[in-house]
Amino acid sequence: MGNTQQRVAVVTGGSRGIGRQVVRWLAVEGFAVVVGYANDADQAGLAVKEIVEAGRRAIAVRADVADETAVAALFDRAEQAYGGVDVVVHAAARTSLAPIADLDLAELDDLHRTNVRGTFVVNQQAARRVRAGGAIVNFSSSDVALAPVGHAAYAASKAAVEAITLILARELRGRDVTVNAVAPGPTATDLFFDGKDEETIAHLAAQPPLQRLGTPEDIAEIVTFLASPAARWVNGQVLRANGGIA
């Protein structure tokens, strides 16, 4: 099936939330999409079904992003199915919120395994495999700059994502592959709403001058831009997509 005219995207965390919307948008743009997921096989299957029923190409592949063997197999499957990889969107992540004084260090280890090691492992395979003219898009968070109380472990992990992103962009000199990160602010996903009361949600929605939460569609459109030929001169950047929160 190695059709070199078909652009191919691997999206980790593609079964739900922002990653799921990225999968939809890239499919609309004509990409064959490999939906990477950790546990939710049903949602990953629905994502694939939606794309295939629209006449596009997609498969789902299970992989723990922090497991280098599983991630290598994910990329192998993409290459076997579609002939290569042009775009990698690394949206898989987890969060854990607590003050530094109170955070269970086992939670810290689990969070950093997914967010830091996982980003490094996925980017390592992407660096080896993405074809010329391709793009790598990681996910940071506006928490890195906003420094909200209780978010130290998560923000620290996303600061590491930014470092990996900027350095990989330089390491791929001469490859014609861009590497950027998107740093969303508060975005209306199930993960965002989990554990928050209405007052907290209203407060966060009021922070941007645009006076609303971001949507998965807002973020997916930015990712799709970074994956497109229109963004070839955007490289080694962190795009803070938060509606203008200071």
Residues assigned a catalytic role: 154
Q: Would you give the DSSP letter of residue 117?
A: I
What is the rounded CA–CA span in Å between residue 28 and residue 22? 10
Q: Encoding tokens for residue 104?
A: 């269970």
Q: Where are the beta strands (DSSP E) in 95-234?
A: 130-139, 178-184
Beta-bridge mates of residue 139:
182
Residues 6+ apart with CB under 8 A from 130: 85, 86, 87, 88, 136, 175, 177
Using CB atoms within 10 A of its CB, is residue 144 exposed (0-12), middle (13-18) or buried (19+)?
buried
